[in-house]
Structure 1
């Protein structure tokens, strides 16, 4: 990643952001975060961009991080799955440390779930990963917009659990200025209800906190769910 000065002239069309560079010029960066980005946007905040790997891509940079509340917060939602798989492979997530045969993007009936693995007993473990960027007081909250796709995934995980397999939601919290994890009932009450129902039948929930620096990230532990 490269430090290119300040953001926040504007974010628009969900996928684009105008970024002002240190020399005063302005570039258009790709924004992978399709949510509202509540509590994450701040005009004039320092940002980190990464150059596009495809030279033919229209936007030459991807927006990775923003400096907010005296710490870096992750903007690139595509990093959430990569982080989850890396932590699972390195056995850092308590409760999922015995997973084997870890695979990404595995089809399950009419859905494609983010991660599949098997535990030490040979039980299938199906996992869905969600990026968390919204903050209210000391809470990281998900979702920051109504998510019909997320609702569908919760229904699928609930069915998987009923079939006798393990099912888990992994929430990757890409900011370290929060202490707890919760569901944004005021934004998507349907999602909140589905998650509560899923937890009651044994769908596991892991709220994984990540701390970013300019160079990399570190695993800060699991946050308690409220």
Structure 2
């Protein structure tokens, strides 16, 4: 890792998931002890059965919290594999990563340098993630589908088609409308793993509505970019970012 990367105060701890107990909790074995951990994404993680999957955990500074750890990443490698590839699942943390690199000119090719970076800006009926200079920027971190090779030994569950698209449609439409008074607007699709380039693998139940909203936004001039972050026990780095043509 280099000087621009995000170094965790404490290294992440490796554990083995026993099961996902609820939307908000995952049962993990850590050093022989079974612990209830916070799950930072309420939705599904592809259709993977998390039982037996390796994970990385961050320890909470709040000693009174009911869940002392947060599951930051999972790995589809076997437990005995030494060099594991990690897939970050903490959607709440992504905005912190993006903010760090915005403020440290890590996205210079996308958004220039030296811009004022403001968080959670209200526009119309929405609250968008960032205003960078004169550019509104919204961050999305899809986890319903994973664009990675899923080994045969990983269990896959049957699940209903994804249908929760309201916030995405609202936000991308609001980005488009922001162009009436701003020169640029960006939807930044983020992955905490090496995603080759976002594709729709499985259509949602509201695919046509989403497609229409994306077409409306891109016709208005909304730019869609992708950022890949890499997570390891020591920290996070911005691996690459590029413009998408959807």
Superposition TM-score tier, normalisation by shorter sequence? 0.7 to 0.9
Q: Sort the Cα spacing of 1:41 and 1:99 in 2 relative to 1 into closer, same or farther, 3 A.
A: farther
Query: Is the counterpart of residue 76 in structure 1 residue 90 in structure 2?
Result: yes
Query: Is the counterpart of residue 35 in structure 1 residue 43 in structure 2?
Result: yes
- What do residues 174-220 of structure 1 show as CA deviations (whole Å, max 9, x unaligned)? 111x3111245612412233123211211011100111111112222
Query: Is the counterpart of residue 181 in structure 1 residue 198 in structure 2?
Result: yes
1:168 equivalent among 175, 186, 204: 186
Which residue does the alignment assign to 1:129? 139
Instruction: Give the Å deviation of 1:137.
Output: 5.6
Q: Which sections of structure 1, spanning at least 5 residues, go unmatched?
A: 119-123, 139-143
Which residue does the alignment assign to 1:97? 112
Instruction: Give the Å deviation of 1:68.
Output: 2.2
- What do residues 13-53 of structure 1 show as CA deviations (whole Å, max 9, x unaligned)? 21111111221x21111111122111565421221111122
| Contact in 1 for aligned 2:173/2:216 (Cα 8 Å) | no
SS at match of 1:29: strand
Which residue does the alignment assign to 1:146? 164
Q: Sort the Cα spacing of 1:41 and 1:222 in 2 relative to 1 into closer, same or farther, 3 A.
A: farther
Alpha-carbon distance in structure 1 between the residues aligned to 2:176 and 2:220: 8
SS at match of 1:78: helix
Alpha-carbon distance in structure 1 between the residues aligned to 2:103 and 2:48: 29
Alpha-carbon distance in structure 2 between the residues aligned to 1:56 and 1:78: 21
Q: What is the root-mean-square deviation of aligned Cα atoms in Å?
A: 2.3
TM-score by length of 2: 0.78
Alpha-carbon distance in structure 2 between the residues aligned to 1:128 and 1:193: 18
| Contact in 1 for aligned 2:115/2:132 (Cα 8 Å) | yes
Alpha-carbon distance in structure 1 between the residues aligned to 2:105 and 2:239: 14
1:20 equivalent among 20, 29, 33: 29
Alpha-carbon distance in structure 2 between the residues aligned to 1:202 and 1:183: 21
- Structure with bigger RCO (C-alpha 8 Å, 6+ apart): 2
Which residue does the alignment assign to 2:81? none
Q: Sort the Cα spacing of 1:204 and 1:152 in 2 relative to 1 into closer, same or farther, 3 A.
A: same
Q: Sort the Cα spacing of 1:180 and 1:225 in 2 relative to 1 into closer, same or farther, 3 A.
A: farther
Which residue does the alignment assign to 2:101? 87
| Contact in 2 for aligned 1:132/1:174 (Cα 8 Å) | no
- The count of aligned residue pairs is 214
Which residue does the alignment assign to 1:219? 238
SS at match of 2:141: strand
Query: Is the counterpart of residue 202 in structure 1 residue 221 in structure 2?
Result: yes
Instruction: Give the Å deviation of 1:65.
Output: 1.1
Q: Which has the higher strand share?
A: 1
Q: Which sections of structure 2, spanning at least 5 residues, go unmatched?
A: 1-10, 78-83, 150-161
Alpha-carbon distance in structure 2 between the residues aligned to 1:53 and 1:174: 23
